[in-house]
Structure 1
């Protein structure tokens, strides 16, 4: 989905990288931004998605080296985090995880930090580009521990539904499949997070979310974990085996086999 006009703008130092990215994404490379609503900016410090206009949020980028994601890595609670419990991390158990709705990769990074091998699927080309850029910069960092974490994250550009269906037919299985589909909103709660305001025009809602659950149950060997807003309905109206509930969100866990 691309409901707003998007272009690429580059810092002079990054002109060649910007040209390659514009060709890859089939987006215009511009200097005059007056006709556009969103910019994918190519800067020395990395890619960022910047909305244009009045009262818009600041840029969105993927940063595993510093900022909130790095802070969570150090002080986020380790195996005590709800997501860790949801995917079944305990003792020496570190299940292989398929994150079929990767987005900015924050949850996948948490799981990789805790020792899981994570395959990330992202179908929106612009979001995939941001995530690939963030992983590349993390792999260039001086922090060996960080590089070991991102080495456990494999990024794939693919439509999750068709990819899972095809891989399941070939016999591929992941211990845990993790889903965090974009939830359709009709009120101001959609504006709470900067990423929501920026990404929704680019990727839209995950209207195939019910189908994602069915595909996930086919490719998972042990469990499927679905992250939802706390009061949202179950995916495909399918009641989970159990739930973990937080203040604003919950995890619906569909168990197939004990980890």
Structure 2
């Protein structure tokens, strides 16, 4: 399991959020922000709008939280291109085919949400405890919101833990497709990516064990493994991909094992 920066603090913005903050601090082994203490460094904030991570350093980007109900993901759900999106094509969504997907590097759950919105059942693994907490909070708020977003969130399940270990000792139905997006030194210039990378890289670092992650995924998936990479990044060390799907800033290396059929 990835460790947590010990100088991170947990705060809350009102009586309704205090109990959540106390439980979260205890579970993650973090200190609470003393009311007389000036906020500095990374702050995990329990707010009425949801759990969010903020860097309190001067000039730092704004807070990050998982929001499946409004904002960019809601817009993408409606206007994102449906089954034509690159992640959907990579995992094999077409016609009536909706593979069972394991997203072994879930992060903030964006790719998983896109696939779930298209009808896939998606099991997510996230090993960094703070990122997993942000994702779990976003999922819970989506379920409470009701309507279509809640139906999508119901197709998403989250496990906190090390994907390599979990895949090596897998319990339950075998995923048809495993989606991997290991941390890599991103050069994407979009403000959103820069903001999240600046916040998360101190927590998650890079993924030097990406070759082991790929090997474990290839041993488990019944049909295919897909690996998201920056467009010009080298492939993960291991067997060569059987296909490649290129986008403007990223690509998918596809490792086929069996043909997906509806």
Structure 2 Cα separation of the partners of residues 20 and 212 of structure 1 = 31
Structure 1 Cα separation of the partners of residues 46 and 139 of structure 2 = 15
Tell me, yes or no, if the aligned pair for 1:2 and 1:201 is still in contact at 8 Å: no
Cα RMSD, aligned residues only? 1.9
Structure 2 Cα separation of the partners of residues 226 and 188 of structure 1 = 17
Residue 107 (structure 1) aligns with: 111
Structure 1 position 229 matched with structure 2 position 237: no
Structure 1 position 149 matched with structure 2 position 134: no
Residue 199 (structure 1) aligns with: 200
Shift of the 10–93 alpha-carbon distance from structure 1 to 2, 3 Å rule, reads same
Unaligned 5+ runs, structure 1: none
Structure 1 position 132 matched with structure 2 position 133: no
**How many equivalent pairs are there?**
255
Structure 1 Cα separation of the partners of residues 127 and 103 of structure 2 = 12
Tell me, yes or no, if the aligned pair for 1:190 and 1:197 is still in contact at 8 Å: no
Residue 27 (structure 1) aligns with: 30
Structure 1 position 6 matched with structure 2 position 8: yes
TM (normalized to structure 2)?
A: 0.92
Say which SS state the counterpart of residue 15 (structure 1) adopts: helix
Structure 2 Cα separation of the partners of residues 36 and 132 of structure 1 = 25
Structure 2 Cα separation of the partners of residues 9 and 66 of structure 1 = 24
Structure 2 Cα separation of the partners of residues 7 and 129 of structure 1 = 14
TM (normalized to structure 1)?
A: 0.93
Shift of the 171–69 alpha-carbon distance from structure 1 to 2, 3 Å rule, reads closer
Structure 1 position 92 matched with structure 2 position 93: no
Cα offset, 1:207, TM superposition: 1.5
> Cα deviation per residue 1:8-64 (whole Å; 9 max; x = unaligned)?
011122111110111011100113554741000001111000001111000000000
Unaligned 5+ runs, structure 2: none
Tell me, yes or no, if the aligned pair for 1:105 and 1:131 is still in contact at 8 Å: yes
Structure 1 Cα separation of the partners of residues 120 and 188 of structure 2 = 35
Structure 2 Cα separation of the partners of residues 172 and 138 of structure 1 = 25
Shift of the 60–257 alpha-carbon distance from structure 1 to 2, 3 Å rule, reads same
Structure 2 Cα separation of the partners of residues 212 and 85 of structure 1 = 22
1:75 aligned to 72, 79, 85, which one?
79
